[in-house]
A and B are shown apart, each in its own frame.
Chain A
Amino acid sequence: MNILDIDSLTMRFGGLLALADVSFHVARGEILGLIGPNGAGKSTMFNCISGVLRPTEGDMLFEKDGKLMRINGYKPEKMTHFGVARTFQNVRLFSALTVLDNVRIGRHCRTKANFFGAVLRTRSQKEEEQRIVDESMNWLKFVDLEKFVFNTAGSLSYGFQRKLEIARSLATEPRLLLLDEPAAGMNPKETKSLIDLIHKISDLGVTVILIEHDMKLVMSICRRLVVLDHGIKIAEGGPREIRANPKVIEAYLGRGAADA
């Protein structure tokens, strides 16, 4: 069963064609790599799936209660509610807030307390707050950040910020997680622990789509890859096939490289 079907997706910005008739599918539970040179349309694809952008043409179908549902045009908060979470290429944390608060905000879409609950401190509100803290702590332990609970998010090192962003997105209880260049700016040790983390996430049953420039990382975790170039899907398949694909080599290294 597929969790996501992308069908002839096209995204136009004025005259610029960011995605042209791209189709692929994501199977439930897999780790799919989405690669391509800069400006290939990878982040645009994420922005479409997560509801930040509304695609110009084509369909996006997301599995919900065993059925595929068209998700074009839903707002980001709605997509989060459906079970799509994401991280951003340039980390977007609530940097003045504590690490714990960042993750607690991730729980927003799975909790209910409103103004009256907050002001009257009803029993259900208090219980919910306790649960939010407990669950947030679990996620922080999951990414090994429990030491920094009360630090501000902005004070963390870059690698930890990336992890915190992942914890925050996991707190929304996603079924599909979109990771946008999670290893960018990480040192080899951090990258290593990131690989373990992605495997751990996958073991939870969360489907992952990964945008990444670090080919070693991508090739080692993803069973299947989709390659974009200038908004067009140029290849799809396993790591070995992709590595041998002349079109991919050309896209990365330029014309002529494939023949050499």
Chain B
Amino acid sequence: MFEQQLINGLTLGMIYALIAVGYTMVYGVIQLINFAHGEIFMLSAFLAVTFITVFGLPIYVVIVLTMGCCALIGVMLDIFAYRPLRQSPRLAALITAIGMSIFLQNLAMIIWGSRPKPFVQDALPAFLRTTALTVGDANISWLQMSIFGTASMLMIALFLIINKTRVGTAMRALSQNRTGAALMGINVNRVISFTFALGSAMGAVAGIMVAIYYNTLYPTMGYVAGVKAFAAAVLGGIGSVPGAMIGGIVLGIAEALGAGYISSLYRDGIAYAVMIAVIIFRPSGILGKSTVEKV
């Protein structure tokens, strides 16, 4: 029982981490909670299913294609909704973010209907549902294994992009000091767009994973997962990419264990409670900098 919960929690946590990095990177460069990030995650699940059912594309192609589409949506979101408000008070940008989130969610509802749909199982290799290995009492399916694998690979890739590439360096510079970065000749808007693209692509993979893992997708899925992932980002320390990864995994495990041992009714509540507690008692999170308002 315990091992199984732990494995389930870890799977979930990997997915949260993938979404959380999107929040945390965007927050790092423009200090905005991109509430619409959860909707990109949701859109990715629907786009993937559409690509499979309408165009009959194989799943691997679909994943790459969906990542691209979501990256594009993320960039457009920034260009059309957030960029015009860069100089406005923060409140305006936050309200826009929440407005975009609701807009995209309802757009999905109009396009695909509000009822939950199953994922297209035929598109998936059959072995995914079989057990890969058994640890103690816990069975780990190939699906879970591939979630671990894919998520880990993406995380490593992300880490390399941020730390070893020019654009990654520019992102880090931007999160330190935007004006300074601009003065050093960094094209700020391009770097911000890249950040949105990168975060959205990560979220896209997470969206497909969740849709496959729970075999369901619905227009409001982004809203709960989004808030939980944000909680993970806060837990890890907002603005810190490794923090978001750790936060996601910790939150996923806490949620699975909490649902298993405390009360499954409060499953979603655990994430919110953890988030509120972290914000109150340790707002800098596990790895973050202090965020108490500078006066």
Chain A residues within CB distance 8 Å of chain B: 52, 75-76
* 3 A-B contact pairs sorted by A residue (CB < 8 Å): A52-B295, A75-B295, A76-B295
Question: In whole Å, how far is B89's beta carbon from the nearest beta carbon of chain A?
Answer: 10
Q: How far is the CA of A52 from the CA of B295 in the complex (A)?
A: 6
Q: How far is the CA of A76 from the CA of B294 in the complex (A)?
A: 12
Residue of A nearest to B295 (CB): A52
Determine the chain A residues whose CB is within 8 A of the CB of B295 once the complex forms.
Answer: 52, 75-76
Interface of B is mostly: loop
Q: How far is the CA of A76 from the CA of B295 in the complex (A)?
A: 8
Q: How far is the CA of A247 from the CA of B295 in the complex (A)?
A: 34
Chain B's interface size range is under 10
Determine the chain B residues whose CB is within 8 A of the CB of A52 once the complex forms.
Answer: 295
Q: How far is the CA of A75 from the CA of B295 in the complex (A)?
A: 9
Residue of B nearest to A52 (CB): B295
Determine the chain B residues whose CB is within 8 A of the CB of A76 once the complex forms.
Answer: 295
Residue of B nearest to A75 (CB): B295
Chain B residues within CB distance 8 Å of chain A: 295
Question: In whole Å, how far is A109's beta carbon from the nearest beta carbon of chain B?
Answer: 16
How many contacting A-B pairs (Cβ < 8 A)? Answer: 3
Sorted nearest first, the 3 A-B pairs with minimum C-beta distance are: A52-B295, A76-B295, A75-B295
Question: In whole Å, how far is A42's beta carbon from the nearest beta carbon of chain B?
Answer: 19
Q: How far is the CA of A180 from the CA of B270 in the complex (A)?
A: 49
Q: How far is the CA of A199 from the CA of B295 in the complex (A)?
A: 30
Determine the chain B residues whose CB is within 8 A of the CB of A75 once the complex forms.
Answer: 295
Residue of B nearest to A77 (CB): B295
Question: In whole Å, how far is A55's beta carbon from the nearest beta carbon of chain B?
Answer: 15
Q: How far is the CA of A75 from the CA of B292 in the complex (A)?
A: 14
Question: In whole Å, how far is A106's beta carbon from the nearest beta carbon of chain B?
Answer: 18
Question: In whole Å, how far is B177's beta carbon from the nearest beta carbon of chain A?
Answer: 13
Q: How far is the CA of A6 from the CA of B3 in the complex (A)?
A: 61
Q: How far is the CA of A52 from the CA of B294 in the complex (A)?
A: 8
Question: In whole Å, how far is B270's beta carbon from the nearest beta carbon of chain A?
Answer: 36
Question: In whole Å, how far is A146's beta carbon from the nearest beta carbon of chain B?
Answer: 30
Residue of B nearest to A76 (CB): B295
Q: How far is the CA of A182 from the CA of B142 in the complex (A)?
A: 69
Q: How far is the CA of A192 from the CA of B83 in the complex (A)?
A: 43
Question: In whole Å, how far is A53's beta carbon from the nearest beta carbon of chain B?
Answer: 9
Question: In whole Å, how far is B288's beta carbon from the nearest beta carbon of chain A?
Answer: 15
Question: In whole Å, how far is A72's beta carbon from the nearest beta carbon of chain B?
Answer: 16
Question: In whole Å, how far is B127's beta carbon from the nearest beta carbon of chain A?
Answer: 53
Q: How far is the CA of A75 from the CA of B293 in the complex (A)?
A: 13
Q: How far is the CA of A138 from the CA of B38 in the complex (A)?
A: 55
Q: How far is the CA of A48 from the CA of B205 in the complex (A)?
A: 49
Question: In whole Å, how far is A47's beta carbon from the nearest beta carbon of chain B?
Answer: 10
Residue of A nearest to B294 (CB): A52
Question: In whole Å, how far is B259's beta carbon from the nearest beta carbon of chain A?
Answer: 42
